Amino acid sequence: MREIVLDTETTGFEPAEGHRIVEIGAVELFNHMPTGRTYHQYINPQRDMPTEAFEVHGLAEDFLRGFPPFTQIADAFLTFVADARLVIHNAAFDMKFLNAELKWAGRPLLAADIAIDTLAIARRRFPGSPASLDALCRRFGVDNSAREKHGALLDSEILAEVYLELIGGRQPDFALTVTTASGPMPQAQAWRPPARPRALPPRLTEAELSAHAAFVEGLGDGAIWRARQAG
C-alpha cells in the first residue's frame, strides 16, 4: 500500500479569497515504511505575501519569485502522487488548496476520499486532548526541535512519524502479516517455513563417507566426535 504524507504552506486561509500555495512537501510510505522518496517544491504565488503568513513559514515574496507558478509544477506533483492515499494533518485545509490550484491549472482534481486526516484520527484516539502536530510530537516523543517555523517538507517528515505512532507504532508489522481467507495470520507464522514433506536425499558420495570414517577412526577413542555420535 502506497501512501504520501503531505503538507502545504500558503499565503492565507481561503483560496476563494485569492490565497495560493507557496510550498508543497511530501514523503512516500510503502506498507507504512518510509521509502526515502520525497517531493519538495517552492511555488511562486504570483501575489503578495501577507505578514501573518510570512510569520508562520518565513517564505518571503522576493524569495518565491525565483520559483515556478503552480501551473508549471502541477504535472510533476500529480505524477508523484499517482494513485496513493494522502496522509494530511487537517486534510480539509490542504485538499481545499490543492484542488483550487489544480482547477486553476486545468488539471484533474484529487478525490476527497483519498485523504487520511491525522487530526481526525488523533481526536478520536485522544478526545479532549490537544491534537496539533506539536502536541502529538510531545505525546509520542517525536523530535521536532528543528521546527522553528512551519516548513512543508520538514512537517511532512515529522507527520510521517506521528502517523505511524497513531496507527500503532513505528514500523508496525514490517510487512510480515499475511492475510488469508480466515483473516491475518500471526506474525510468527507468516515468515516461518513449513516442514518438508520428505527429507532431502544425502549429498555425500561414498568416497566422502569413507574418507570421513577414516578421519574419525584416526582421532582415537577419546575424541569428542565419537562421544557425539554415541549420543
Query: Where is pLDDT greater, at 220 or 175?
Result: 220
Question: What are the backbone dihedrals phi and psi of residue 152, each rounded to the nearest 5 degrees, phi first?
Answer: -65, -45
Question: What are the backbone dihedrals phi and psi of residue 92, each rounded to the nearest 5 degrees, phi first?
Answer: -60, -40
Question: What are the backbone dihedrals phi and psi of residue 2, each rounded to the nearest 5 degrees, phi first?
Answer: -100, 130
Q: Which of 40, 89, 150, 212 is catalytic?
A: 150
Which residues are bridge partners to 26 per DSSP? Answer: 6, 39
Count CB-CB contacts under 10 A for residue 112: 11
Which domains occur in the chain, in start order?
2-171 (3.30.420.10)
Report the pLDDT averaged over residues 61-80: 98
Alpha-carbon distance 158 to 147, whole Å? Answer: 9
The question of whether 150 is a catalytic residue gets the answer yes
Q: What is the pTM of this model?
A: 0.72
Place of cell 526515502: 36
Query: Where is pLDDT greater, at 231 or 175?
Result: 231
Confidence at 202, pLDDT banded by 50, 70, 90 = low
Q: Are 4 and 98 in contact (CB under 8 A)?
A: no
Please state, rounded to an integer, the average pLDDT across all residues of the chain: 85
Lowest mean pLDDT among 45-59, 124-138, 160-174: 160-174
Over 60: is that where the pLDDT of 177 sits? no
Over 50: is that where the pLDDT of 175 sits? no
